[in-house]
Each structure stands twice: as structure tokens, then as C-alpha cells.
Structure 1
Amino acid sequence: MSVLDIKLDRAFDVFDSDRDGKLGKADLTGLSDRLAESLDYAPDAVAGLRNSLADLWDTVFHKMDKNDDGGVDRQEFRQAFRARIVSDQNRIWERIRVMSNAWTELADRDGDGMLSREEYTSLLHGMFRLPRETFDEAFNQLDIDGDGQLSRDEISSAMKEYYTSEKHSARGNQFFGRL
């Protein structure tokens, strides 16, 4: 199994919130509700993120369901994501950037436009329910300039690298924690 397949499988597992082995729109949009709950925000406060996740489903994920069974299984996700990255890079990265910016804005509690270690950890723990310790090492890898903060560019760059790089040593591979 390639490094990219390992990362795509991890992403699939992170998105599959009900653990039924299929991704549905509710899996994606539910991430915004989890974040709202974990950060003690009103559901309306995460409307922008919910909308960007719904758009990601409608324009990208929904089309991955090749057998029309109403959900995207692991194999469909892997194959379609690889094909989409090659054929439609600009559009998919624009949607991922919009989503990334929406959740970065929500997690940026002090409003400085950057994510501190605590903000980053709270964000990913809240959305994906992974252990907080998972993100401590990840933060160190993603903080390229070593300033103790993650900029939107560092986050977007890490996400892009996570979903495209075949190199095991790529920094962005740490986005959801150690591989």
C-alpha cells in the first residue's frame, strides 16, 4: 500500500463519523456540529463551515459514489480522490482552501489570524474526536517557520501535501497525526 493510500484511508476514517464504512453528506456536515459543540459555539456560528462542507460533498464527494448506493466506500474514495487530484486540481484545492479557512477562522479564538497549538489541537480534537496527543507532534511538524503558530498558508500547504504527496517524510503527512 502506498503512502498516499495510507493517508487517504486515514482521511476516510476521520470523515466517517458514524463508522459505517461509507461516507455520506451527514458525515461531512456533522463535522461542523461537532466543532460547535466542542468549542461551545451556537450551531449558527458554524454555518459557514457547514456550508463549505456541504458544497464539498455536493461538488466532489457525491460524484465519488460510482455504484449509486448513496454512500462513498473506502475504495471509491481512494480511486476518485486520486483521479480528481490529477484532473481537477484547481477546483478541488479552492474548495478545500475555503473549508480550511472556515474552520481556521472558527478555531482562532484570539482573532490573530493564526492557530496556536491549543487552538489547533482543540479544532481537530473537536471535529474528528482524535486524542489531543495526536496533534502535539503534528503541530511541531506543520509549524514550518517555528513561530509557535500555524498560519492559513501553513495549514493549506499541509492539507495539500497530505492529499498529494507520496513521500513518507512530507511534513503535511502529519496533518491528522503520525502515519
Structure 2
Amino acid sequence: MSLLDMKLDRSFDVFDSDRDGRVERSDVLAVSDQLAESQGLAPDAVAELRGSLAELWDAVFQKMDRDDDGAVDRQEFRAAFRARIVTDQNRIWDRIRNLSNAWTEIGDRDGDGMLSRDEYTSLLHGMFRLPRQAFDDSFTALDRDGDGRLSRDEISSAMKEYYTSQDHAARGNQFFGRL
């Protein structure tokens, strides 16, 4: 299995909220609900993130559904994401940047516009239900300037690198925890 397939599978698993091997609109939107619950927030507090996720479903995921069954399976996800990266880079990165900005705003409890280690690990643990330790290790790799905080640019760059880099040592590969 290629490095990109490993990363796409990890990403697929993140969005498959009910773990049934298919990503449906409800799975994608559930990411915001999981975050609200984990952070003790009212659903209204994650409305912007929920909107970004709905846009991501409508503009990206729904088009991945090649057999038109209302869900995206792992193979559809891999094939479609590879094709989108090649043909639609600017639009997909704009959507990913909007998504990362929305959840960064939610996780930024001290309002400094950046995520501390604790804010980052809490946010990702809450959204993706993966162990906090995985994200603690990731934080160190993603904090490119070593200032103990992740800027929106560092986060967006890491996400882009996660989905495009074929380099096993690329920092962004750890965005969803160590591979």
C-alpha cells in the first residue's frame, strides 16, 4: 500500500463516524457534533464548522459517490481524492483552509488566533476520537517554528502536505497522528 493510500485511509476513517465502512453526509456532519460534545459547547457554537463540513460534503464527498448510493466507500474515496488533488487543487485547498480555520477558531480557547498543544490535542481528540497521545506527538512535528503554538498557516500547510506528500518524513503526515 502506498503512503498516500495509508493517509487517505486514515482520513476516511476520521470521517466515517459510525465506522460502517461508508462515509455519508451524516458522518461528515457528525464531526462537528463530536467536537461540540467533547468541548462542552452548544451546537450553535460549531455552526460555522458544521457549515464548512456541509459544504465539503456537497462540493467534494457527494461527487465521490460514483455508484450513487448516497455514501462513499473507501475505494471511491481514494480514487476521487487522488483525481481532485490533480484537477481541482485551488478549490479543494480553499475548502480545506476554511474547514481548518473554522475548527481552529473553536479550539482557540484563549483567543490568540493559534492553537497551543493542549488546545490542539483537545480539539483533535474531540473531533476524531483518536488517543490524545497521538496528537501530542503530532503537535511537536507540526509546530514548524517551535514557538509552542500552531498558526492557521501551519495547520493549513500540514493538511495540504498530508494529502499530497509522498515523502515518508514529511511533518504533515502526522496531522491525524503517527502513521
The question of a shared fold, defined as TM-score above 0.5 by the shorter chain, is answered with yes
Amino acid at match of 1:163: Y
**How many equivalent residue pairs?**
179
Partner of 2:95: 95
| Residue segments in structure 1 that go unaligned for 5+ positions in a row | none
SS in 2 for 1:66: coil
State the distance in 2 between where 1:45 and 1:177 align. 26
Partner of 1:174: 174
Cα deviation for residue 136 of structure 1 reads 1.0
State the distance in 1 between where 2:34 and 2:21 align. 19
State the distance in 1 between where 2:21 and 2:150 align. 32
Partner of 2:33: 33
Q: TM-score, normalised by structure 2?
A: 0.99
Partner of 2:144: 144
State the distance in 2 between where 1:28 and 1:71 align. 11
Cα deviation for residue 76 of structure 1 reads 0.3
State the distance in 2 between where 1:67 and 1:164 align. 26
State the distance in 2 between where 1:111 and 1:26 align. 30
Amino acid at match of 2:104: T
Partner of 1:19: 19
State the distance in 2 between where 1:86 and 1:138 align. 27
Amino acid at match of 1:118: D
RMSD between superposed Cα atoms in Å? 0.5
Q: TM-score, normalised by structure 1?
A: 0.99
Partner of 2:134: 134
Amino acid at match of 1:173: N
State the distance in 2 between where 1:34 and 1:177 align. 18
> Quick one: percent identity of the two aligned structures?
76
The one-character-per-residue Cα deviations of 1:100-126 (angstroms, maximum 9, x if unpaired) are 000000000000001000000000000
State the distance in 2 between where 1:77 and 1:145 align. 33
Cα deviation for residue 139 of structure 1 reads 0.3
State the distance in 2 between where 1:19 and 1:40 align. 23
The one-character-per-residue Cα deviations of 1:75-120 (angstroms, maximum 9, x if unpaired) are 0000000000000000000001000000000000000001000000
| Residue segments in structure 2 that go unaligned for 5+ positions in a row | none
Cα deviation for residue 55 of structure 1 reads 0.2
The one-character-per-residue Cα deviations of 1:9-41 (angstroms, maximum 9, x if unpaired) are 010011101011000111111110111111111
Partner of 1:76: 76
Q: After TM superposition, which residue ranges in structure 1, 4 or more long, deviate above 6 angstroms?
A: none
The one-character-per-residue Cα deviations of 1:101-160 (angstroms, maximum 9, x if unpaired) are 000000000000010000000000000100101111100000000000000000000000
SS in 2 for 1:109: coil
State the distance in 1 between where 2:162 and 2:77 align. 15
